[in-house]
Amino acid sequence: MKPIPATELILNADGSLYHLNLLPADVAGTVITVGDPERVSQVSRYFDHIELKKSKREYHTAIQQQGWAAHHQP
């Protein structure tokens, strides 16, 4: 995957993405998106451990770097 050019990103002073407040190191290798922000808490309750929670406006993020899918197969 090609990186997004810096000219197309809006960053905060700390280098995090403006709309998400996430740093590049915050993003896991696998990302699950949900259509409704309220579903973030419903999905993340199946994580073994939430390492990071961030919110900005309607964007909610809960991160576990690895392991949840192996333990919670439908």
User: What six digits make up the tokens of 46?
Assistant: 């199946």
Q: For residues 62 and 44, what is the distance between their CA atoms, to the nearest angstrom?
A: 6
Q: What are the two backbone dihedrals, phi and then psi, of residue 72, each rounded to the nearest 5 degrees?
A: -130, 55
Structurally, the chain folds into a number of domains equal to 1
Residue 47 lies in a domain: yes
- Whole-prediction pTM value? 0.65
Domain that holds residue 17: 6-71
Give the pLDDT score at 12: 92
Helix (H) or strand (E) holding 69: helix 68-71
- Whether the Cβ atoms of residue 65 and residue 51 lie closer than 8 Å to each other: yes
Q: Is 70 exposed, middle or buried (0-12, 13-18, 19+ CB in 10 A)?
A: exposed
Residue 39's pLDDT is what? 93
The answer to the question of residue 1 being in a domain is: no
pLDDT of residue 29: 80
